[in-house]
A = this chain, B = another copy of it.
Amino acid sequence: MGGPVSRPVEGTRQRLLTAAVESFHRHSVAGTSLQMISDDLGLTKSAIYHHFRTRDELLEAILEPVMADLARLVAAAESVRGARARADAMLTGFAALAVTRRTLIPVLTGDPGVADFLRGRPDWSALVQRQLALLADVEPGLGGQVKAAVVMAGISAAVGVDYPEAGDDLARVQDELVTAGRRTLGLRAPRET
C-alpha cells in the first residue's frame, strides 16, 4: 500500500491507464481501442488483456479513483451547514479535483462515451446528481439548475484549456475557476480566517 511501485505487473497496469487517459483525451473514448493503446506502449495484445479485457473495464479503472475522490467531496460538502456554504464547499473541492486531474476531467464530462458508460453505473450517476444538487440548491428552481450545469460543465472544460498567461501556475487557474463559479452561483468569497 503506497510506497514505490516495484512489481512489474503494477507498472504495466499504471502505464496502460495513463496511455488510455491520453488517448481518450485525444481521440475520445469511442475512438480509442485496446489495440491502439497496446501499440502506443509497444505491448502485445495479450499483455493488455492480462489487465483489461474490454475498453469499458479500462474506463472503469480510470474512473474509479476519480469517483472515490468525488464521493468524499460530495459527502464532505453535504455535511456542511447552510445551502450556500455547502455549494461553496462543493465548488472549491471540485475545482481542486479538476486541476489535479485536468487531462481526464474534460473527457469525463464532455465525451458521450463516458455519459453512456455512466448510465450503466447508477451509483456513479447518482453521485454526479448529488454534486449538481449541491450547486443548484443555492437558488431554487430552473435558475439554480441551469447555473449548476453551467458551473460544473464550464469548470470541467475550462480546466483543460491552455492559458499561456498562467504557464505552469495551476493554482492561479484553480483560483480563477473558483471565482468564476462563485460569480455564476451568486456566492460571496468567504472571509479569510
User: What is the minimal beta-carbon distance from A163 to any residue of chain B, in angstroms?
Assistant: 6
User: What is the minimal beta-carbon distance from A159 to any residue of chain B, in angstroms?
Assistant: 9
SS class of chain A's interface: helix, strand, loop or mixed? Answer: helix
A111 within 8 A of B: yes
Interface pair B143/A111, CB less than 8 Å apart: no
* Chain B residue contacts of A151, Cβ below 8 A: 150, 154
Q: Which of B28, B107, B146, B158 contacts A146 (CB 8 A)?
A: B158
Interface pair B31/A173, CB less than 8 Å apart: no
A26 within 8 A of B: yes
* Chain B residue contacts of A29, Cβ below 8 A: 28, 30-31
How many angstroms between the C-alpha atoms of A38 and B173 in the bound complex? 45
* Chain B residue contacts of A141, Cβ below 8 A: 165
Interface pair B165/A154, CB less than 8 Å apart: no
A84 within 8 A of B: no
A27 within 8 A of B: yes
